[in-house]
A and B are shown apart, each in its own frame.
Chain A
C-alpha cells in the first residue's frame, strides 16, 4: 500500500516537473507577453498538482483559485489595458547584461540545486498523521491559522484591504471634462444643428438601410453613401468595416436611375440613360448626376 502511494507520487512528480520546467523556459523566452502569461498559468496549475501530491489539498485549491484564477487573470486584464500585442523589444540597454545574467542564473541554479540535493535527510515524516488528527488537511490548516497564527492572519487581511484601496487610488483617473449627460447632449446637438447643420437625431446604427444588419456594414444615407460614424472606429481601423464596398450603393443607384428616367419622361426631353451611372462604381459620377437631376427638378 505504501509502495503504491509512493509510486503514484513519483509518477505525478515526473509528469509535472518536466512540464513545469518547459513552461518556465517558455515564459522567459516567449516574445509576446500573452504567451508568457499562459505559460505561467499552466506552470501554476502543474505546481498545484504537486501541492496535492505533497499532502496539501488546501494549498492546491488555494493555488488554483488565487494564482491561476485571479493573479494570472489580473495579468491578462492588465495586458488588455496596456495592449496585448506589445512585443518585448529585444535590444539590450546595458551592454553585455544578458550574457552576464545568463552566467549568473546558471551559477545560481547550480548552487541552489547542489545545495538542496541532500537537503532532506532520511525518510519524510509525511503529513498523514497531522492531517488525520484534525480530521483533514483543511481543518488542520484552519486550526493553525485561526489559532496560533490568528494575529498574522488579521494583519494579512488588513494588508489585502489596504492593497485593494491602493489599487483603486493608483488606477483612478480624474475626469478632465465634466461628464456629458442627457440634457447637455441634447443642448449640444441643438446648438450644432444651429451652427453646423449637423443632424439632431442620434447617429444611425449599423445596418440601417444597409444590405446587411451585421455590425461591420455601415448605415446608408438616402443617396446610398455610407453614413459616417455608423460603424465602430475600431472596426474601421482594422479594415473590417465594409465601407468602400460599391455594392452597398447599388440599390440606391438603381432607384436613382429609375427616378431620373421618370423625371426625364415628365420633362418631355429625352435623356440618355448612358449619362447616368448604371452600376456599381463611379460614386462621383452618381453625385454629379443627382445634382443635375435636382437642378432639373427645380426648373
Chain B
C-alpha cells in the first residue's frame, strides 16, 4: 500500500497535538498534546525507516522515546510542585512572576 498515508496520518495527529497545545489551559493536557506531537514525529521516522530500508529511523524514534520519558518525568514533577502551592493545574494560575 502507499506508505504516504502513514505520513498523512502523522501530519493529522501532529496537527491535533498542536490544537490541544494551543487551545487547552490545563498543564497536564498541554503536556499530553506534546506527547501526541512526539508520537506523530515517531510515526514519520518509522515510516521512513521502512520506506528507505534503513534502521536509522527506528533508532531515532527510540531515542525520541527515551528523551520523551525523561521530559515527562521532569515536567510532571514541575506540575506537581506548582499544583502543590497553587492547588490547580491551570497554566493561567502560574503568572505570579508578572505581578
Q: Which A residues have a C-beta under 8 Å from some C-beta of B? A: 6-7, 9-10, 13, 17, 20-21, 24-25, 27-28, 33, 36-37, 40, 43-44, 47, 50-51, 54-56, 58-59, 62-63, 66-67, 70-71, 74-75, 78-79, 81-83, 86, 88-89, 93, 97-98, 101-102, 104-106, 108-109, 112-113, 115-120, 124-127, 129-130, 137, 140-141, 144-145, 149, 152, 156, 159-160, 162-164, 166-167, 170-171, 173
A144 to chain B, nearest CB (A): 5
Q: Using known A-B contacts A82-B80, A124-B3, A163-B70, determine if residue A105 contacts B32 with beta carbons closer than 8 Å.
A: no
Beyond A83-B89, A163-B74, A170-B78: 15 further Cβ-contacts under 8 Å? Answer: A9-B1, A21-B9, A28-B33, A59-B58, A59-B62, A66-B66, A78-B79, A82-B80, A101-B23, A109-B15, A119-B7, A141-B59, A159-B67, A162-B70, A163-B69
A295 to chain B, nearest CB (A): 51
Which residue of the partner chain B has the closest CB to A159?
A: B70
B72 to chain A, nearest CB (A): 5
- What 6 pairs across the A-B complex have the smallest Cβ distances? A125-B53, A109-B15, A112-B11, A101-B22, A163-B70, A116-B7
Residues 2 to 46 of chain B near chain A (Cβ within 8 Å): 2-20, 22-26, 28-29, 31-33, 35-36, 39, 42-44, 46
Main secondary structure on B side of the interface with A = helix
A27 and B20 contacting across the interface, CB-CB below 8 Å: yes
Q: Using known A-B contacts A13-B6, A124-B50, determine if residue A24 contacts B59 with beta carbons closer than 8 Å.
A: no
Which residue of the partner chain B has the closest CB to A124?
A: B51
B65 and A66 contacting across the interface, CB-CB below 8 Å: yes
The reply to whether the CB of B84 lies closer than 8 angstroms to some CB of chain A is yes
User: Chain B residues with Cβ under 8 A from A51's Cβ?
Assistant: 43, 46
A24 and B36 contacting across the interface, CB-CB below 8 Å: yes
Count contacts on B: residues with CB < 8 A to the other chain: 74
B8 and A113 contacting across the interface, CB-CB below 8 Å: yes
Q: Which B residues have a C-beta under 8 Å from some C-beta of A? A: 1-20, 22-26, 28-29, 31-33, 35-36, 39, 42-44, 46-56, 58-59, 61-63, 65-74, 76-81, 83-84, 88-90, 92
List 13 A–B pairs whose Cβ atoms lie within 8 Å, in order of A's numbering.
Answer: A17-B9, A36-B29, A43-B36, A82-B28, A82-B83, A88-B25, A105-B19, A113-B12, A124-B50, A125-B52, A140-B55, A159-B67, A159-B70
A28 in complex: contacting residue of B16, B42, B55, CB < 8 Å? B16
